[in-house]
Copies of this chain bind each other. A is one copy, B any other.
């Protein structure tokens, strides 16, 4: 038995950063951890932003919510307190918001190499744990990916070819819509159970248990025929 967890996220999303950590807490304590596979999927909070866009976080939030910058900064401190309670570094100034499409392309590049966690953790750290802008700067992305152990030439090849993994990102986004995700983080277990948001670790633990204890999914059999099994192959000309 195995549980497949798909997590739709955006690098821009503080609750995704926090939710990943809380999910990992639950996963680390899950008795059947080795049977769980996790895949991170793409979701852009704002796909309309130009590729080279970089907007300082506090004014961006103030404008989005129609609140003062002081209130926006207080919101950031509130998020920071939650992140720190989960053991994460979260800086509340110097950060930016922008187009994350290239980052999602890199996540698919990393997935192909079985090293998606390393890429996502490096991107999150670059965005949330450093008092420095991240978006709209290809050289910075190269630096982040290389620091996570990825090959510089391969990373540059992905970033300079706008088509590389672009369809994979768009397919993830279409799939999120199909599954009814309106925000992120959005966790899907075995394409059956959903968890939306940066829930407490206990909620993720409960979802993992539920997926694990779930009985055999009922497949609708489209066709059943010539196959090989422990007792041999259903060879029509057997006698």
Contacts and interface: CB of A to CB of B under 8 A. Distances in A.
A136 B47 CA distance: 52
Contact of A233 (B13, B210, B223, B239): B13
A29 interface: no
A217 B178 contact: yes
A179 B237 contact: no
Contacts of A10: 228
Given A112-B113, A216-B180, A238-B75, A185 B227 contact: yes
Contacts of A232: 61, 64-65
Interface residues on A, range: 35 or more
Interface in A44-74: 45-46, 61, 64-65, 67, 71, 74
Contact of A74 (B198, B199, B210, B237): B237
A222 B203 contact: yes
A35 B179 contact: no
B220 A193 contact: yes
A95 to B, nearest CB: 14
A231 B46 CA distance: 9
Contacts of A75: 235, 237-238
Interface in A149-198: 167, 171-172, 174-175, 178-180, 182-186, 188, 190-198
A94 interface: no
B222 A193 contact: yes
3 pairs of A and B residues whose beta carbons are closest in the complex: A183-B229, A197-B225, A183-B227
